[in-house]
Chain A
Amino acid sequence: MYSFVFTSLLVLILIWKTFKLFKNKRNSGDFEGIDEELVIMLNKGDSNG
């Protein structure tokens, strides 16, 4: 029983981790996108003139 609970816990952790990694991979764009987003966000509130 103990071994089953412990192994289940580890498997659950692995499933959760895999789900998170896949979700992150799906949400990750490209570096050009990051660049564009950064510039847009900086220029939105630009008061450096």
Chain B
Amino acid sequence: MAKQAVRFSKKKRTKYRFQKLKMCKKCQRYSVLKDDTCPKCGTTFVGMEALVKSIFKSRLLTEAIWILIIVSIGIVAAPTVRTLYYSLISGLVFVVSYVVLTSIFIKSEYFIHLKKLLRVDLKKIAIGIQYDSELAKKDVKEDRLAPAYEKLREIGDFLYSDQMKIRRVMVLNDISLRSDMELELETLIPSSYDKDFVKYALEVLKINRTLITKKCIGYFINHRDAIVIDFGINSLLTVAGMTLRMKLYILEFSEFIEEFLDYFPKERVLRLCSILHANPEMEWGSLEEKTNRLVAMKYHYDPDFKRFSVGDEVVSHV
């Protein structure tokens, strides 16, 4: 099947995840998608913060009404004019104190209300995300891959299960990936070997090397046997080559690099030599020795490697 050429819209970014939650007051359903209106009833969604604020306001209003009732009763029930004035003054002082006290603690009160709402509505939120997930499934079935992925991407901020990750990866594998897309790799790493993920990772690494991380390299090393069976040794060679992106990765995965050193193209060996040469104070272990040997054997007369050599000897920093 030919891959779909699509364009993803920008991911909605919020400081906190809960800010992405919104609710349709008519259906009493939560959603994490970018839509402004409920796909069921067309009502405009209310954001989580607005929802908490409205609940908080109505609680404050109820409290205010109770306070007024108590103070009014106290004033009206006063047996004498003197006690009436006395009650009026103490009532006023009470109201002012109450308002000041509430306004001092308004932030923590808002916070407590938000926490309470999230806890109470957790089941509703889970059901809402389930519904969002169904919408994404429907999009995939109808071959609308871009909206399906965008939905799964938003849901993925809340659900970290392997199934969710693989669903995203499967959609991405049917899309023609480009470097201008906001792609993710580390967040999609499943807990066990998955062929679809490796296929996606290898595709992503071709277009954006910066996405390779320690966790990603670790995944390839941990599942190397299965990866070699499914994708051939070249896939591991590619990853080993990308490990040279940072000197910390070289230190961490030096044994893995050593295994593939002999098969690296000249440009990768050159990069490795540059890093080793620029950091003589670091303990590179047998990797440095093996690299020097390789350069001495294979690139002895190559002018690009001359700067790493003194006479005929390759510089050894140990």
Contact = CB atoms under 8 A, between A and B. Distances in A.
A10 B90 CA distance: 8
B167 interface: yes
Contacts of A34: 16, 18, 111, 114-115, 118
Given A31-B16, A38-B17, A6 B90 contact: yes
Interface residues of B, number: 46
**Mostly helix, strand, loop or mixed at chain A's interface?**
helix
A17 B98 CA distance: 8
A31 B107 CA distance: 12
Interface stretch (B3-11, B156-164, B309-317): B156-164
A49 B18 contact: no
Contacts of B71: 10
Given A34-B18, A39-B160, A6 B87 contact: yes
Interface in B69-116: 70-71, 74, 77-79, 83, 86-87, 90-91, 94, 97-98, 101-102, 104-105, 108-109, 111-112, 114-115
Interface size class of A (residues with CB under 8 A): 20 to 34
Given A39-B158, A49-B162, 18 more contacts: A10-B70, A17-B102, A24-B105, A25-B105, A27-B112, A29-B115, A34-B115, A42-B125, A46-B126, A46-B161, A47-B130, A48-B129, A48-B133, A48-B163, A49-B161, A49-B164, A49-B166, A49-B167
